[in-house]
Each structure stands twice: as C-alpha cells, then as structure tokens.
Amino acid sequence: MAVANNITAVLNFIATLCSIPIIAAGIWLASKPDNECVHLFRWPVVVLGILILVVSLTGFAGAYWYKETLLAVYLCLMAILIVLLLSLLIFAFVVTRPDGSYSVPGKAYKEYRLDGFSDWLRNHVVNSKNWDKIRPCLAESDTCSKLAQDYFTVDQLFSSNISPLQSGCCKPPTACGYSYVNPTLWINPTSPTADPDCFLWNNDQSQLCYNCSSCKAGLLGNLRKEWRKANIILIVAVVVLIWVYLIACSAFRNAQTEDLFRRYKQGWT
C-alpha cells in the first residue's frame, strides 16, 4: 500500500506540473487584445488549469498521508476535469477549423472573409449585439496604433506578416484600391464598389474599419490563430494527464486489492 501511495504521490506531482503550462496558455490567451474584448474565450483555460492544480494537490496530499478518501475524491474529480479539457479541445478544434483567410497578390499578409469562418463563431462572437461591445474595446486598444508605429513605407507594410486583426481592422480591403498615406490613413479609392467595406472605411483613427465585416473576420482570424497555438500545449498536457490518471487508477486499485488480501490472510474477513 505504501509503495502504491508513493507512486500515486509522484504521479500527482507530475499532474501538478502539467497544470502550469495549461494556466500559462490560458493567461497568454487572456492577455491578447482580441480576447480582452471577447470575454467568452478569456478565462476557461485558466479556470481549468487552476482546478487541475487544486485537484492534483489534493491527490498528492491523499497519497502522501495515506488518506484513501482524498484519493477517491481526486480520482473522481480528475476524471471530470480531463473530460472537460478534452471537450474544450474538441470544441475549439471544430469551431476554429474553417479558415476565412485568402491571399492577396503582392502582399505578405492575408485578408479575411467573414463567411469563411464557422457559423458558431459568427453567431456567438461577432453578431450585432456582441459587436457593439467589442468594437469600442478594439478601438481603444493599441492594435492599429502599433501598426502605424512599426511601418513607415508602403513596401514595409506590404512585405510584413501583420496580424489578422490588423489586416481586417486597421486598413481598407485591397480590392477597394485605396492609395497609401500611412498604415492607418488611406485615400482616393479606385474601386469603391468592389466591397461593401469600401464605404465603411474612415480615416478617423477611432473609426478606421472597425465597422467593417473584414474587421469581424480579422478578429475571428486572430482567435483561430491563437487558439490553434494554445491547443498544441493543451493536447500535450491532456495526454500526460490521461497517462498519469490511468496509472494512478491502477495503483489505487492494486493497493485496494492488496489491502483486502492482507486482511483476509490475517483473518479479518
């Protein structure tokens, strides 16, 4: 029983370590300008990471001090958390699978179409009700001001891999044929009817293309890109957690069997 508990304690220590990259990935996601404005995606990963940390410490304490009740609670709660983390991963993969980006000739960056993303993202993130709250939040961020600070010539801008959010919100669509003045100032469109967003572009730095469909698509493109990166960390963490959990279950079950056999030999049953 002592050997099995020691094994379980070590495994729970590993699970505790696994919670750290999960929390770090959640904090990284929450710190991004788009996630600061889209509260729906901001904290789920952080909360799950903290819960895994607490449950792992509970299992460690139960194994270290031979508290079978704590171990049983740990096994039950960890199973629930692993299922929740797997569900979050699958959900994130499904809703971020469609990619609304398209290449623009002569540009290193891509532009984005709103109808290229999943229905769920469009309906729950950038619907008119939510966008009324998201738009002013984006306008107050430094997303576009950083673009103007980092690039000074049209060649620098066109050869740069700017973020989807900057591509969609900080400049008009290329199809409009606007002339470059600076990254957030464009004039004299040659094809103003090429895209409905052409009429929505405004050189007012508080307006820009924040009312454009391309800005909504850029926001979804940013979310997709960031969640795809975070998913890599989460996949590795959940694989390790499942491996740890299965071994801990086996050790706990074997310890219970050995304890019953010991009691039987001593005539307690």
Q: Are 66 and 108 in a shared domain?
A: no
Asked whether residue 19 falls in the same domain as residue 80, the answer is yes
Same domain, 5 and 89: yes
Predicted pLDDT at 261? 45
Please tell me the pTM assigned to this model.
Answer: 0.85
Give dist(CA 253, CA 265) in Å, integer: 19
Check if the beta carbon of residue 36 is closer than 8 Å to that of residue 30. yes
Write the CA distances from 259 to 2, 10, 65, 184, 240, integer angstroms: 11, 21, 16, 72, 28
Task: Looking at the structure, tell me whether residues 241 and 211 fall in a common domain.
Answer: no
Same domain flag for 228 and 215? no
Shared domain for 74 and 108, answered yes or no, is no
What pLDDT does residue 69 have?
A: 76
Name residues whose C-beta falls within 8 Å of residue 132's C-beta, 6 or more positions apart in sequence: none
Rounded CA-CA distance 70/112 in Å is 51
Same domain, 65 and 175: no
pLDDT tens-digit series, residues 80-114: 999 999 999 999 899 999 899 999 998 999 999 99
Confidence of residue 163 (pLDDT cuts 50, 70, 90): very high
For position 151, what pLDDT does the model report?
87
| Model confidence pLDDT, tens digit, residues 50-66 | 999 998 888 777 766 76
C-alpha 235/C-alpha 233 separation (Å) is 6
Least confident window among 7-16, 131-140, 150-159: 7-16
142 and 194 in a single domain? The answer is: yes
If asked whether residues 106 and 206 sit together in one domain, one would say yes
pLDDT at res. 256: 56
For 229-263, write each residue's pLDDT tens digit: 888 989 998 998 898 888 777 766 655 554 544 55
Q: What is the pLDDT of residues 29-42, one digit of tens each?
A: 888 877 778 877 77
Q: Number of folded domains in the chain?
A: 2
Q: Across the strands, what pairs with 186?
A: 180
Residue 12 confidence class, pLDDT cut points 50, 70, 90: confident
**Residue 3 above 70 pLDDT?**
no
Is there a single domain that holds both residue 85 and residue 167? no
| Same domain as 174, residue 255 | no
148 and 208 co-located in one domain: yes
Per the structure, the complete domain to which residue 253 belongs is given by 1-98+224-266
List, for residues 121-150, the tens digit of each pLDDT value. Answer: 898 888 888 898 899 999 998 889 888 888
Cβ pair 41, 227 in contact under 8 A: yes
pLDDT tens, position by position, 203-236? 999 999 999 999 999 999 999 998 888 889 899 9
pLDDT of residue 265: 53
pLDDT tens figures, 169-197: 999 999 999 999 999 999 999 999 999 99
